[in-house]
Amino acid sequence: MIENENRAIGFFCPACQQAVIAEKSVFELTATNSTISCPCSKCELKLELQDHLIRMHTPCLFCEESHVFTCPLELFLSEKIIAFSCGISQLDTCYVGKREEVYKAMDRLQETVDVLANQNDEKSIFMNEVVMQEILEEIKVIGERGGISCTCGSQQWNLNLTYSAAEINCTVCNGALKIPATTLSDVDDLCCKMTLTIQEKKNA
Ligand SMILES: [Zn+2]
Ligand SMILES: [Zn+2]
Ligand SMILES: [Zn+2]
């Protein structure tokens, strides 16, 4: 380890979404507590010294909480790169290490940030994509074994999807059965059903 080498610290600002990468000398880091602020000045990462440990308060773009990471000072100052990850999103939320390694890692993470930002812009079509997928899979399985029918006697149906539900419609009488698709318990509920019955729609 080269004593005078700078350490880079990188994270994404939850307020303005930009990458913040700062360099601190080993001298600075071991002398006193320090702070790294985003240029937007809305958030900052705090470093606190505590004996041979360094405690880092990191703003997190992914869950918008702040995480506290504790790391042995020796590792903090010597590792090529250390990734600290958000316990909620499982994504890396902060890197510490050699300058070029931190820049590389932040570049990779930027791609994820971009994807997530796009998703938020478009507002996903379903409230919970994963649950909707599982619900559709289940409906398909039940349908394939002939388990879907309407009280009018029809076994012809089609599927309409909304933001939070899958609706099975009888093609004969237009009756509908709405299957909620927002939480994992919706999936559990559907999994234990052998058959699905649409209530006939009686024409007035
Ligand atoms: Zn910012
Ligand atoms: Zn987080
Ligand atoms: Zn029907």
| d(CA 10, ligand 2 centre) in Å | 14
Is residue 105 one of the residues assigned to a domain? yes
**Same domain? 138 vs 115:** no
Q: What is the whole-number distance in angstroms between the Cα of residue 138 and the centre of ligand 3?
A: 21
Are 27 and 103 within one domain? yes
Would residue 190 count as lying in a domain?
Answer: yes
One domain, residues 149 and 107: no
Report the distance separating Cα 138 and Cα 26, nearest Å.
56
CA–CA distance, 8 with 95 (Å, rounded to integer): 8
Last residue of a domain, one of 122, 145, 170: 122
Does any domain span residue 155? yes
Task: Give CB contacts under 8 A, 24+ apart, made by 185-192.
Answer: 186/131, 186/135, 187/131, 187/134, 187/135, 187/138, 190/135, 190/138, 190/139, 190/142, 191/138
Pick the ligand that lies closest to the CA of residue 12. Answer: 1
d(CA 11, CA 113): 11
Cα–Cα dist 67/57, whole Å:
6
In terms of domains, do 135 and 184 share one?
Answer: yes
Looking at the fold, whether 15 and 90 belong to one and the same domain comes out as: yes
Ligand 2 centroid to Cα of residue 8, in Å, is 20
80 and 153, same domain (yes or no): no
In this predicted structure, what is the pLDDT of residue 1? Answer: 47
Both 93 and 151 in one domain: the answer is: no
Q: Is the domain of 102 the same as that of 36?
A: yes
Smallest-distance ligand from the CA of 19: 1
Q: Which among 96, 122, 148 is the end of a domain?
A: 122
* Ligand with the closest atom to the CA of 156: 3
Residue 96 lies in a domain: yes
pLDDT at res. 37: 96
Tens of pLDDT along the chain (204 residues) come to 455 579 999 999 999 999 999 999 999 999 999 999 999 999 999 999 998 999 999 999 988 789 999 999 999 999 999 999 988 888 899 999 999 999 999 999 998 888 777 765 555 678 788 889 999 999 999 999 999 999 999 999 999 998 889 999 999 999 999 999 988 889 999 988 999 999 999 875
pLDDT at 119: 66
| CA 136 to ligand 1 centroid distance, Å | 40
CA of 32 to the centre of ligand 2 (A): 26
* Residue 204 lies inside a defined structural domain of this protein: no
Number of compact structural domains in the chain: 2
pLDDT for 159: 94
| Cα 1 to Cα 86: distance, rounded to the nearest angstrom | 28
Residue 33 shares a structural domain with residue 80: yes
Distance 157 CA to ligand 3 centre (A): 8
CA–centroid distance, 35 to ligand 3, in Å, is 66
- Is 107 found in the same domain as 85? yes
Give the domain range for residue 75: 6-122
Residue 123: predicted pLDDT = 58
Ligand 1: distance of its center to the CA of 12 in Å? 8
Q: Which ligand is nearest to the CA of 92?
A: 2
Last residue of a domain, one of 81, 102, 122: 122
**Same domain, yes or no: 151 and 97:** no
Residue 70 alpha carbon to ligand 2 centre in Å: 15
Distance 151 CA to ligand 3 centre (A): 6
